[in-house]
Amino acid sequence: MISRNMVAAMATIVIGAVYLNFAYQLRVSSLADAFGPQGLPRVYGWLTLGLGVVLLVQSVLAVRALDAEERVAFFREEWAGQGRRILRAAGFLLIATAYLLLLPYLGYLLSLALLIAGITLYMGAAPSWRTVVVPLVGAVLLWLIFVKLLGVDMPAASVLSRLS
């Protein structure tokens, strides 16, 4: 049987391998130093892949150390109630997908406010004035940090640009 840590380890190995694949495809500029622009992404990729391997080996050894009776009890408890948790994670994924789909149409500021409000309500907050004010203030603060302070361009609302 496979434990949750084994699943997480395998996912980490896949993520690390995909990340490494993209890191090795980065082009080197003639202006790059010896480390180059692909240096840090390669280090991150190898660290992610290595940590996944370490977690997988550790998980396999932990399961092998159990006797047959303990192993059966471990796996029965390991996966109990995971269906609900997986559905909850799928809900977060749907909210994030909705954010990404709305972003080009509503722009960064409004889409982010809706994302914060959606996550807040999904986490169980009772609808009140706070579930309106906090997402708006949070979106404005993040917009100020990224757009004004760091100079990162964020998507503008295409709906508003069509109206003007």
Instruction: Please report, for the chain, the start and end positions of each structural domain, with discontinuous segments joined by +.
Output: 4-80, 84-162
Numbers of helices and strands, H then E, in the chain:
6, 0
Mean pLDDT for the stretch of residues 17-32: 81
Residue 140 has pLDDT above 80, yes or no: yes
Residues 6+ apart with CB under 8 A from 120: 131, 134, 135
Q: How far is CA 65 from CA 24, 60, 70, 71, 151, in A?
A: 38, 9, 9, 9, 54
Closest of 113, 115, 118, 108 to residue 160, by C-alpha: 108
Mean pLDDT for the stretch of residues 120-129: 94
pTM of the full structure = 0.61
Res. 164 pLDDT band, cuts 50 70 90: very low
Residue 158 has pLDDT above 70, yes or no: no
Rounded to the nearest integer, the mean pLDDT of the chain is 87
